[in-house]
Homo-oligomer: A and B are copies of this chain.
Amino acid sequence: MSILVAGTIAIDNIKTPAAEANNLLGGSASYAALSASYFCDDVRLVGIVGKDYPQEHLEMLSTHGIGLDGVEKSDADSFTWTGEYFDNMNDRQTHAVALNVLENWEPKVAEGIADAKVCVLANMSPDNQMTTLDQCWAADFVVADSMDLWIEIARDRLKDVLKRLDLFVINDGEARELTGESNLVIAGEALLAMGPKAVVIKLGEYGAMLFGPDGQFFRAGAYPLREVKDPTGAGDTFLGGLAGALVKAGSVGGDGVAFEDLRQAVVMGTIMASFTCEEFSTRKIQNLSPETIEERFNEFKAMGMF
C-alpha cells in the first residue's frame, strides 16, 4: 500500500542550550515521510526545494525508499527555518523564516503518484493541503496536521480541510486556539464536530489524546526521555509514524480504520517522535532498525501496564 506525504522540505538552522547546527534537513514532510518509511515501502514525497538544497538530504531520503518524483526543484532559494530552544527545550523562538520556494507554490501531484491510498497532509498552508487532497483521487485515509499560523490567518480554509479528514492531528495549544475551549476533552469533541472522523491532540512530553466516533477515547503517555536534544520535527515524525503503522497493520481500506488500530498507530507515532527528540534533525530517525523501534514499542507498552 502507498502513502503520499505532502508538506514542507526545509533547511533548518537550530540552536539549543547545548549545541548548534546549520543546514540541517527539516520540514514537515521530510520528517513525516522518513518516519512512515519504516512501515511502508511505497512512500511518496510531495514538496518543493530550491536550487541550493543539499543533495545529501535528498539522497538520504532516497536510500530509505522514499519516492522523490513529487519533489519539485525550483530556481529560487530553499525554504529555511532558523530557531532556538531554551531551558527545558519547551520554549522555542523563531529567529528567521525564509519562505523562498514556498511563496506561490502550488503542490502538483503527478499522475504516477496520485493513486496513493493514504494521504498525509503534513503541516503547510490549508490551501496547499486542499490542492494536494484534490489530486489524490484514490485516498482511502486522509490525515492532516496544522499549526498556529494557519489557525490565525487561514482558519476558514483549515476548517474546509477538516471536513475531509479521517484524522486530524494538532497540539494542545492549537486545539485550544482553534476551538476556543480551554478544556482539552471538550476541545477534542469540538474538533470532531468540525468534521474529521477522529482527532489526536498531542501533549508534547505528556503524550497524546485520541478522540474517535461515539465517544471513543484513548490516552497515551509519551516515552520518557532522559535528554531532549532537539524536538524539531517530533510532531511531524508522529504523523508519519502513525500513518505508516496504520498501513503496516493493514487497517486502511475496507470498512474504515478501526479505533483499536488507531490506538496502536498513536503509540507508534509516539515512539517514532521520541527518537526524533534524541538527536538534531533527522539524525536519529534516519538510522533506526525495525528491532530498535519494536524494542521501544514493547518497552513503552510495559511501562503503562497495570
Contact = CB atoms under 8 A, between A and B. Distances in A.
Interface stretch (A42-50, A100-108, A112-120, A216-224): A216-224
B183 A226 contact: yes
Interface in A236-284: 260, 263-264, 266-267
Interface stretch (A18-26, A130-138, A156-164, A202-210): A202-210
Contacts of A209: 224
Contacts of A303: 217-219
How many chain A residues sit at the interface, stated as a range, is 20 to 34
Interface in A75-134: 87-88
A225 interface: yes
Given A87-B182, A206-B203, A306-B267, A224 B219 contact: yes
B264 A226 contact: no
A66 B100 CA distance: 70
The 10 tightest CB contacts between A and B, nearest first, are A206-B206, A263-B306, A219-B221, A88-B182, A185-B224, A185-B226, A219-B303, A267-B306, A264-B306, A217-B303
Interface of A: 87-88, 182-186, 203, 206-207, 209, 217-221, 224-228, 260, 263-264, 266-267, 301, 303-306
10 contacts: A88-B183, A185-B225, A186-B226, A209-B224, A217-B303, A218-B303, A218-B306, A219-B221, A219-B224, A264-B306
